[in-house]
Amino acid sequence: MNNKRIILETLLADIKLEVEELKIFSNPVERMMKRYAKEIGDFEKSYFASQEYRRLGWKNYNTFDVAIPLWRTLNSAMVERASRKGLKIKNKDNLLYVMSNNSIKYYVFNPQMRSYKYEYLSKKTLGEKYSKEKNIHREALGKVVESFPQIEEYCVMSDSIANFMPCPGYPYNSAKGTITSVVDYLPLMIDYIQRELNIIRNENKIDSTVVLQGKDFKVTAKDIKQWHKWFVKNRESCFLEDYYNIRKDESKQLIIEGIPLFNNQSLSNPLPESEEEIKMCLANQIKIINNRAIKMADKIILNKYGKIMDKLFRDGGESYALENLKYEFEKEGIVDENDFNDALEYCILHGWIIECGNGYYTR
């Protein structure tokens, strides 16, 4: 269907292309690195995104998040390539990248100490270094992307509507991005919330109890309870079925469980390490985003065509000739012959219209 294809392209489009400073870069990796260097982000809060949220029926949600950003998976791939036998990426005979406390470090000269040491690598630093043609990081990332080509695909999808989601309010985003056992992965945030809720229940903690103290935020027992309720309530409406499951335990309490992105992923093993795990993680992330885009497109079409159907079939038993149907669709902006045929086919396929014969249709 032509209409659905156009909607899918919009949902999977790289929103970075809406930014003047970024759209000049045709290569997705280079575009992402420039985004890091310029510290341009929050595309989930952009005007482009807000227009799509309206079409999805998300007007009652106020806070949005990126379900799984690229950064942590990219870091894992960088570290894996650096340590891989036969293809070691080094600097001064030391591995260029290592992982420390689930965060990436790089081997660099420290002018204050007048010696080389491992320091934490920020997005901004990597982006700036990548922009220099003769730089070890640009060469290293070339090897990383060559080994994991799905990274290039995810550079596009990471900043697309299909990777965005409504989420609980502050301080949810702050916690998800900084908890070292979660590393900004939604399935692990789900497991973290459930684990903390279990502790709160077992120890009868009051709502004001501080569960997590961040640099400039704190999470209370009340926050954990509210987040849990939010994810139980909003799983289907936000198309999050591929990220976590909901079940009842022996005492009939609702349990939320993150769906691992690679074998044995957990709060104690959050990042992929081996080549196989990284490829599996990327493949699952891409698969989930594509699945969400399809569900989102169906919802947008349902919202659009559903309103037309409800208007036409107020009592449910009306029947219309093909020309009458076409006229009603034209009033809603569907004027192209191919688009109308697509719309009619979609409505019949989903049982919203029944073909009676002799050119007449009913519900």
Of 240, 267, 295, the domain-final residue: 295
Share of the chain above pLDDT 90, in %: 75
Residues 188 and 289 in one domain: yes
Report whether pLDDT(1) > 70: no
Tell me, yes or no, whether 124 lies in a domain: no
pLDDT value at position 146? 95
Q: Please tell me the least confidently modeled range out of 23-32, 184-193, 299-308.
A: 299-308
Tell me, yes or no, whether 28 lies in a domain: yes
Residues 278 and 235 in one domain: yes
In this prediction, residue 158 has a pLDDT band, given cuts at 50, 70 and 90, of very high
pLDDT value at position 280? 98
Residues 35 and 163 in one domain: yes
Q: Is 328 in contact with 322 (CB distance < 8 Å)? A: no
Report whether pLDDT(353) > 90: no
Measured CA to CA, the distance from residue 81 to residue 109 in angstroms comes to 21
Mean pLDDT (whole number) for 192-200: 98
Q: Which residue has the higher pLDDT, 3 or 121?
A: 121
Residues 270 and 332 in one domain: no
Of 295, 329, 350, the domain-final residue: 295
Which tokens sit at 24? 């000049």
Of 295, 326, 346, the domain-final residue: 295
Tell me, yes or no, whether 319 lies in a domain: yes
Residues 162 and 265 in one domain: yes
Residues 341 and 216 in one domain: no
Q: CA distances (Å), 223 to each of 216, 217, 220, 246, 272, in order? A: 16, 12, 5, 19, 29
Residues 233 and 358 in one domain: no
In this prediction, residue 87 has a pLDDT band, given cuts at 50, 70 and 90, of low
Q: Is 206 in contact with 103 (CB distance < 8 Å)? A: no
pLDDT tens column, 234-254: 999 999 999 999 999 999 999
Tell me, yes or no, whether 175 lies in a domain: yes
Contacts of 203 (CB under 8 A, 6+ apart): none
pLDDT value at position 238? 98
Domain that holds residue 356: 313-362
DSSP code of residue 45 = G
Tell me, yes or no, whether 301 lies in a domain: no
Tell me, yes or no, whether 84 lies in a domain: no
Residues 181 and 319 in one domain: no
Contacts of 163 (CB under 8 A, 6+ apart): 66, 67, 68, 157, 289, 292
Q: Which residue has the higher pLDDT, 354 or 189?
A: 189
Residues 196 and 255 in one domain: yes
Q: Please tell me the least confidently modeled range out of 197-211, 250-264, 306-320.
A: 306-320
pLDDT tens column, 287-318: 999 999 999 999 998 888 877 877 777 776 78
pLDDT value at position 86? 63
pLDDT tens column, 270-280: 999 999 999 99
Q: Is 201 in contact with 209 (CB distance < 8 Å)? A: no
Q: Looking at the 3D structure of the chain, how many domains does it have?
A: 2
Report whether pLDDT(2) > 80: no
Tell me, yes or no, whether 86 lies in a domain: no
Residues 267 and 336 in one domain: no
Residues 272 and 356 in one domain: no
Residues 244 and 336 in one domain: no
Tell me, yes or no, whether 205 lies in a domain: yes
